[in-house]
Structure 1
Amino acid sequence: MEKFWVFIPVFSLLVFVHELGHFLFAKRAGILVREFAIGFGPKLFGWQKGETLYSFRIFPLGGFVRMAGEDAETLEFKTGAPVVCEVGPHGKITHVFFHDPGDRRIDRRVAGKVTDADPEKELYLVLEDESGRETRYELDADAWIHYDPKNRVQIAPADRQFGSKSAGQKAMAILAGPLFNILLTILLFAVYVGMTGVEDRLVVGSVVPNTPAEKAGIVGGDVILAVNGEKVNTTDSLRYKLLDSKGQTVTVTVERDGNNLDLPVTPQKTGEAYTIGVQFYVDQTRRDATFSESVVAGFKLTWEWTGVIIDGFAKLVTGQLSIQSLGGPIQMGDITGKAAEAGMAPLIKWTALLSLNLGIFNLLPIPALDGSRLVFIGLEAVRGKPVSPSKESLVHFVGFALLMMLMLVVTFNDIRKIFFA
């Protein structure tokens, strides 16, 4: 269980980067961001800075950026309700109190009963004084509404709401989250390669007795070049090709004494993976990487692993992979803990893979994910008008419920694999 706690800061970092992408591009588009949250559920603590509440919530497996107008929201100005208003130096109302403001220092105030208000388009508030006379006041574009001492909200003029922006601006605000995860992946892979060096050839150091490699005739000193004619020059690429074989016989091409040999090998299943029983000369498979090589490797590894992840999703859809193969938070926490025990480099590599998975998964057109929101924005661009907010909200709600059910299934798989295997 101790290992799982390593996963919380790692995953929180990935969530922070993801939500930072949404946040920065929303602000760039001029959208009012009401909250930047790490976690879900009840708020543990937070602080207000400017117009945004930065908070940490009790369940750390997620986060969100709440943009004004992204979901249906209404600011209630109940007709006949008494209010006290603070007027700024420019003559516009900056604060509206539906309760006694207490000891708050207000240099200029007006009071009365609300008879009319428009906090989105024309930005005004009409008050009726004790004599029955109505006066119209302008609302500041950044005005705050105080419903009680602990509940306040900033108004969101129409031009600062998510729905008022162009399809391109909305798409970038949504796309930026997954994109930032992918950029983080590139950075982490570059750091990983800078620490471990460049892996560019697979030189066999030794062959484990009574394994598929020994039976096939592979010997120490051989250089593994390809599997079924497809080039492999890293342990990751070899591992994936063997996993893809599902235990079927493959042709392993090796270089020996200047000659290439094609050897039939039948991988054996070892846990969740397939192996052939070889160990490599680390000092001959890796060399120190230059800065430019590290950067290039960051992009290259991200591209290669993107293909692996997409291939995995495709196999899930086509039934080639069972849902039983999926891992959830418990399994990810277990693997993260083991990676941390192995050292900083393995932890950085695993974090890169988690970040890439998070970015790609969020781009899938599944309701409640960023990919689904991008689909609705695309429909808006084609139709020339947005899909009904109520219909879109219903789709996302159903999708979120299904995702929660899937989470329960994979969590059950995790518990079974880790504690009862």
Structure 2
Amino acid sequence: MQMPPVQIGFGSVIAFVVIFGLLVFFHEMGHFLLAKRAGILCREFALGMGPKIYRFKKGETEYTLRLLPIGGMVRMAGEDPELEVLQPHMEVGVLFNKANQISHVYVTPKDIPDHATIGNVVRFDLEHDLMMTLDVQGEAKTFAVDPKTMLVIEGKEVQIAPFNRQFRGKTLWQRFLAIFAGPAANFILAFAVFVAGALFFGAPTKDAVLGQVVPDGPAYQAGLKQGDRILSVDGTPINEWNQFVGVINSSPNKKLEVKINRGGQDMVVPVQVNEQGKIMVGAGVKKEVGTALKHGYDQTIFWTKTIFTNLAQLFTGHVSVKDLSGPAGIFTMTSQMAQNGLAALFTWTALLSINLGIFNLLPIPALDGGRLVFIAIEALRGKPIDPNKEGMVHFVGFALLMMLILVVTWNDIQRLFLQ
């Protein structure tokens, strides 16, 4: 498939970053909100990938903006195996809160403040019993640990995650919702964008009423105008827009007698259909809330079905991997849509959001769909899967996913620059 030539400028870059950032933000916000609702400790909410270029912390979560404007993540405690920082016999320094619970554990010797209690770790449980026993000057002392205790490692604070704050410590249903909420947020966003577009620009109606008439097109040259109501074509009564389009499309290179009503008066207008079966007109539109909501729902369902159908053709061999587009192709199409106007950009944003939602639901390790498969397997087995084994599967899946992205990016480069 040859991509249309586009002029790529600063505006195109801004449009791509804003749109893709919006899609990723809503996707990750879906994960974040349902995880927080379940009581899961969310360590990081990140937009982009690669090195961090901006960060701030609010509450328990660090919010970061990363260099590459693709992807994002919500890092939940316990989604991957927790790092084991503390070890028996390790010398640490601890501070206490007003309830005489440990509030800070200083792991790195140089970070230990002068007023800290220093001892060697005898035993500890930071997931269930929330306790720590230290050998302080030859005496074993056991202390309660605050559920929000900070481990200080090389000057950086990391909050502990008791088991009931970890992803794996939640019910199957809570984990399912936290994962599924990401793709679900993309479908909700698509619906909202379709509705917003319909309210701003109008939603096509089923009525056989002309909307935009393209200048110098066949309909324009014949004298048809926006607002004309189509009554019949060559004597065939027309009741709705799709019927009118069907008659026109099946009549390439023909001159048709189109009966219209304009301002209460009926008239017949001869129209020459072009060789593509078009007369270059659009349907009439309405800017009503009810119409916009129905349009948003219909478009979301229609494009979801269409994308799933195309995806099925990929697995059945009817569509080749060479036909797929990666970030470069998406950027090019976003540039094209930006040049076509805001209405086209709204529709494109909604389609990308649906694509992102569906893509993430694929049962591929490292994607949301792959994690949902592991949750389903756990439900069938009746016991959890070893997190280390699951982590390895997701790691391999991520590597394969990166290879796929490289392949489709190469496809984009060939289409854009080598053909």
State the TM bucket, normalised to the shorter chain: 0.7 to 0.9
Give, in whole Å, the separation in 2 of the partners of 1:59 and 1:382. Answer: 39
1:135 aligns with 2:152: no
What is the distance in 2 between the residues matched to 1:279 and 1:300?
Answer: 26
Which residue of 2 is the match for residue 270 of structure 1? none
Structure 2 CA distance, aligned partners of 1:121 and 1:133?
Answer: 24
Instruction: Report the counterpart of residue 192 of structure 1 in structure 2.
Output: 197
Corresponding residue number in structure 1 for 2:131: 124
Q: Distance in 1 between matches of 2:13 and 2:113?
A: 46
| Pairs aligned (count) | 371
| Cα distance between partner residues in 1 of 2:113 and 2:297 | 55
State the partner residue of 2:77: 68
**Is the contact between residue 199 and residue 234 of structure 1 (CA under 8 Å) also seen in structure 2?**
no
Q: How far apart are 1:419 and its partner, in Å? A: 2.1
Structure 2 partner of 1:338 = 336
State the SS of the aligned residue for 1:121: coil
Q: Deviations over 1:108-145 (max 9, x none)?
A: x4222222111111111111122x01100111000000
Deviates more, 1:190-199 or 1:109-118: 109-118
Q: Any idea what SS the aligned residue of 2:99 has?
A: coil
1:390 counterpart residue number: 388
Distance 2:81 2:112 in 1: 34
Structure 1 residues 318 and 34: alpha-carbon distance in aligned structure 2, compared to 1, 3 A threshold: same
Instruction: Check conservation: 1:200, 1:233, Cα contact below 8 A.
Output: no
Q: Which residue of 1 aligns with 2:327?
A: 329
Opposite residue 80 of structure 1, the aligned amino acid is H
Distance (whole Å) between structure 2 residues aligned to residue 191 and residue 234 of structure 1: 27
Give the alignment partner of residue 25 of structure 1, picking from 11, 21, 34.
34
Q: 2:251–2:277: 8 Å Cα contact kept in structure 1? A: no
- Distance in 1 (CA, whole Å) between partners of 2:285 and 2:307 is 27
Q: Offset at 1:51?
A: 1.1
Residue from 157, 179, 202 that aligns with 2:184: 179
Distance 1:331 1:53 in 2: 32
Deviation by residue 1:3-36 (Cα, 9 ceiling, x = unmatched): 3443122111111110000001001111111111
Deviations 1:359-411 (A, max 9, x none): 01111112211111111111111211122223322222222122111111111
What per-residue deviation string (whole Å, max 9, x for no partner) do you get for residues 308-357 of structure 1?
10111011111111212111111111111222222222211111111110
Check if 1:170 corresponds to 2:168: no
Which residue of the partner structure matches residue 375 of structure 1?
373
Superimposed CA distance per residue, residues 187-230 of structure 1 (whole angstroms, 9 cap, x where no aligned partner): 00001111221223576969989xxxxxxxxxxx7989xxxxxx
Q: Secondary structure in 1 aligned to 2:161? A: coil
Identity %: 41
- Could you tell me how far 1:234 is from its partner in structure 2? 11
Task: Name the CA distance, whole Å, in 2 between partners of 1:234 and 1:408.
Answer: 45
Cα distance in structure 2, aligned partners of 1:43 and 1:382: 39
- Which residue does 1:144 correspond to in 2? 150
| Structure 2 unpaired stretches of 5+ | 1-7, 219-229, 234-239, 260-274
Distance 1:123 1:208, change over 3 A: same
The answer to whether the Cα contact below 8 Å between 1:4 and 1:334 also exists between their aligned partners in 2 is: no
Cα distance change of structure 1 residues 188 and 105 upon mapping to structure 2, 3 Å threshold: farther
Residue 257 (structure 1) shift: 5.9
1-structure distance, mates of 2:123, 2:101: 16
TM-score (norm 2): 0.81
Q: 1:190 to 1:382 in 2, by over 3 A?
A: same
**Match of residue 291, structure 2, among 289, 293, 304:** 293
Confirm or deny: 8 A CA contact 1:40 1:59 kept in the other structure: yes
Are the counterparts in 1 of residues 55 and 62 from structure 2 also a CA contact under 8 Å?
Answer: yes
Task: Provide the rounded CA distance (Å) in 1 between the counterparts of 2:143 and 2:243.
Answer: 69
Q: Say what the alpha-carbon RMSD is for the aligned residues.
A: 3.1
- Whether the 8 Å contact between 1:199 and 1:233 is mirrored in structure 2 is no
Q: Which moved more, 1:137-146 or 1:117-126?
A: 117-126
CA distance in structure 2 between the partners assigned to 1:37 and 1:175 by the alignment: 18
After superposition, give the CA deviation of every residue in 1:223-259 in whole Å (9 maximum; x if it has no partner).
Answer: 89xxxxxx98499x99xxxxxxxxxxx978999769x
SS in 2 for 1:367: coil
Q: Partner of 1:34: helix, strand, or coil? A: strand
* Equivalent AA in structure 2 for residue 280 of structure 1: M
Give distance in 1, aligned partners of 2:388 and 2:251.
56
TM-score normalized with structure 1 length: 0.80
- Of 142, 149, 158, the residue aligned with 1:153 is 158
Q: Which moved more, 1:78-87 or 1:114-123?
A: 78-87
**5 Å matches for 1:234-245?**
none
Unaligned stretches of 5+ in structure 1? 210-220, 225-230, 239-249, 259-274
